[in-house]
Chain A
Amino acid sequence: MNIIFFMAALIIYLLGTAASLAYLVSLRRLFAKLGKFTLTAGFAVHSAALVVRYLEAGYTPITNLHESLSFFAWSIVGVYLVINVKYQVEVLAAFVSPVAAVLIILASLFPKEILPLAPVLESYWLPIHVTLAFFGNAMFTLAFAAGVMYLIQERQIKSKKIGAFYHRLPALKILDDLNYRCLTFGFPLLTLGIISGSVWAESAWGAYWSWDPKETWSLITWFLYAALLHGRLTVGWRGRRAAIFAIVGFAVLVFTFLGVNLLLTGLHAYN
């Protein structure tokens, strides 16, 4: 049953992608509205898919790659919809929709069966730890998107070659603010994610920290974003440098999330 909702969400995200790209090409307001509407609808259906899976499985469905990718896509869309209330950056939807679509398509490629929960994961810490970490990741994903858009727009203005993107992308100031805002939300979430994981590790594995690859890489990610936040707050980093940092941070984050699971082995590998 949850798979039906899941597939419906996938299709809606694809439609949203089409609408957002149509907006990017034509700049017609209608497509922007359509894109946002589909994204909201996709989010609703996707939420239903998660709830149904939760009821069917009896545990928070974030325990294997299929579930994680799906949950990550859901977090990104959710975080975008929240951010969008304050920052009306339509083109961001043209980033979020395809990313959600790709993530959820990836998720569909991994085994979808509901399996009995590994005993070590049977804990109320599971939803807390994973949700915090994923919302943090989603924030950083948006910071990454803002960073990429910033670099493109800055390139256009600096080089004085005003191309199609100039009219389509928002002001540098807005992109920089967005980057900063996502960082200020994402960093505490990541921090809490790591702390909650550590507390959980103590009760499950008997040690707060055991230098498992996931832990190590999370710490590296944390330091990167800490450096960025520090640079912004004290030295006045902004613009290009902050954008590049957000992009690098995101690359490490993707490795922490996917690379560690797929390439390295450790305590966090469950599939």
Chain B
Amino acid sequence: MDHGYISYSVFFICLGMEIILIGLSHKTAPVEIREKFSIPGDQAEDILGRLAGLPGGRENMFLSTCNRMEVLSVVEDREESAGWIKNFLGGVAGMSGDELTPYLYVRKGEEAVAHLFRVTASLDSMVLGEPQILGQVKEAYRQAVGNKAAGLVLNKLFHRSFFVAKRVRTETKIASQAVSVSFAAVELAKKIMGSLNDKRAMLIGAGEMSELAARHFISQGVREIIVANRTHSRALELAQSLRGKAIPFADFPGMLKDVDIVLSSTGSAHYIIHKEHLTGIIRARKNKPMFFIDIAVPRDVDPAINEIENVYVYDIDDLQGVVESNKEERRKEIQKAEEIVRQGVEAFQRWLSSLEVVPTILDLRQRLEKIRQREVEKTLTLMKNASDEERKTLDILTQSIINKILHHPISLLKHQEGKGEGKLYVDLTRKIFHLDNEEEDD
């Protein structure tokens, strides 16, 4: 093996394939920008087609959700391609590439891999650990495969990212804690009342935040929602959209004994629910628990009500406190998840670097050399009377057989290096000769 050949190859590695990711998310772009990229499924295929038309790109994936947009490409030269992709995305949004640039992040190589893994594992989501994103990434990948935009590298990359996401989901408790105020309220209600299936909730005041919380309660199975609001028309409107029942504002005190959860958010300057009022109600309810969620500032519910047995009152600060303590618990889980991502990136990078031509040629030679030595040894133990001359001849013979066999594959590998199908040849070579002893997991 001559050294000239190796340095020649090393030079070419720099021209190999590179992974680049350009995107924007709720962390970098306001909704006005994000909504320009909320693209229906069929148009996403069109975008994939146009991405494929950009110079220097080999594999592409396009992901669009309400909180993020990402383009992941395997390219020849990432500096050059970054410019092309930015301009292209600007075109999609109806802006120039430069206008869009401040909202975009660009990740290259290992960082791009880590970013994709974090996104898929829902570590980069607005609601950390939410499960939809995995499905969305799978769909984006499916589209890329359908459009023949995904090749060797993206296939491996995505399968690895699904594997990482699965590990994060099963080995950490990222998704199990409520870190938004309305989720915390739902979680508390469940800790008090168990299942919410046979529970009724009443909204007093029809603000945006109580509507959001009400939707969480409905998704957790609350049986009925009752809405009371000073402006009755708004109560009717909200009741309709929540499939609940509107009652006149003045009637809410009489309704209290029939509801389990009360979400209060009126603009009243004083308490509207008093302790004296509640003691009778709780007796009438035979001590069935009640949960008051007071998100109004100034408060609607007399905090002294919390002192009554089987009644619980949480104001907005209390809920915020729960959220903080949940975040604390979760921080530990995030560390675990990040470690899983790190391992995933490492495994992927190992695979990627194995696709370089030089290490593959070295591995290939080594593998055959090992076989040769083993077989020569075996033969020599049978030929106990062989002279030194004969031994040497046998050695030379076997070596030259190997060289002859390897000549064509190696020159083909060298020839394909840096070309479109180059990685495919390397991958195939590694598989045929079983160069990666045990490809781990997946």
Contact = CB atoms under 8 A, between A and B. Distances in A.
Nearest to A240: B309
15 contacts: A158-B306, A160-B318, A162-B322, A166-B191, A172-B191, A172-B289, A173-B193, A173-B194, A237-B287, A238-B287, A238-B288, A238-B310, A239-B309, A240-B309, A240-B310
A248 interface: no
B286 A236 contact: yes
Given A153-B191, A158-B306, A162-B326, A173 B312 contact: no
Interface in A139-161: 153, 157-158, 160
Given A162-B321, A173-B193, 20 more contacts: A157-B192, A162-B325, A162-B326, A166-B191, A167-B329, A170-B194, A171-B193, A171-B194, A172-B192, A172-B289, A173-B192, A174-B194, A235-B286, A236-B288, A238-B287, A239-B287, A239-B289, A239-B310, A240-B309, A241-B309
B190 A27 contact: no
A94 B312 CA distance: 28
B314 interface: yes
Nearest to A237: B287
Interface string A233-269: 0011111110000000000000000000000000000
Contacts of B287: 236-239
Interface string A14-27: 00000000000001
Nearest to A236: B286
A27 B289 contact: no
Contact of A171 (B192, B288, B321): B192
Interface in B144-192: 173, 177, 188, 190-192
Given A171-B190, A236-B287, A239-B289, A157 B312 contact: yes
Nearest to A166: B191
Contacts of A237: 287
Contact of B289 (A166, A170, A173): A173
B321 A157 contact: no
Nearest to B189: A171
A168 to B, nearest CB: 11
Contacts of A239: 287, 289, 309-310
A166 B286 CA distance: 26
Q: Give the interface centre of B195, B288, B310, B318 by most chain A CB atoms within 10 Å.
A: B310
Q: How large is the interface on A (under 10, 10 to 19, 20 to 34, 35 or more residues)?
A: 20 to 34
A158 B309 CA distance: 9
A239 B286 CA distance: 11
A171 B191 contact: yes
Interface residues of B, number: 25
A173 B329 CA distance: 24
B191 A27 contact: no
A24 B270 CA distance: 44
A167 B177 contact: yes
A158 B306 CA distance: 7
6 tightest Cβ-Cβ pairs between the two chains A and B: A236-B286, A173-B194, A171-B194, A162-B325, A160-B318, A236-B287
B114 to A, nearest CB: 27
A174 to B, nearest CB: 5
Nearest to A177: B194
Interface in A171-201: 171-174, 177
Contacts of B285: 236
B411 to A, nearest CB: 54
A157 B309 contact: no
Contacts of B194: 170-174, 177
Given A27-B173, A167-B177, A171-B192, A160 B322 contact: yes
Contacts of B177: 167
Contacts of A171: 190-194
Interface string A70-97: 0000000000000000000000000000
B323 to A, nearest CB: 9
A174 B173 CA distance: 23
A22 B285 CA distance: 40
A171 B291 CA distance: 13
Contacts of A167: 177, 329
Nearest to A239: B310
B334 to A, nearest CB: 16
Contacts of A177: 194
Interface string B88-105: 000000000000000000
Nearest to B286: A236
Interface in B289-335: 289, 306, 309-310, 312, 314, 318, 321-322, 325-326, 329
A1 to B, nearest CB: 45
A236 B284 CA distance: 10
Contacts of B286: 235-236
Nearest to A160: B318
Interface in B176-230: 177, 188, 190-195
A61 to B, nearest CB: 40
Contacts of B306: 158
A172 B191 CA distance: 6
A177 B309 CA distance: 17
Nearest to B282: A236
A158 B322 CA distance: 12
Contacts of B314: 160
Contacts of B195: 173
A68 B289 CA distance: 40
B295 to A, nearest CB: 15
Q: Give the interface centre of A27, A162, A235, A239 by most chain B CB atoms within 10 Å.
A: A162
Interface string A51-64: 00000000000000
Contact of B188 (A157, A174, A240): A157
Given A167-B177, A238-B287, A157 B310 contact: no
Contacts of A157: 188, 191-192, 312
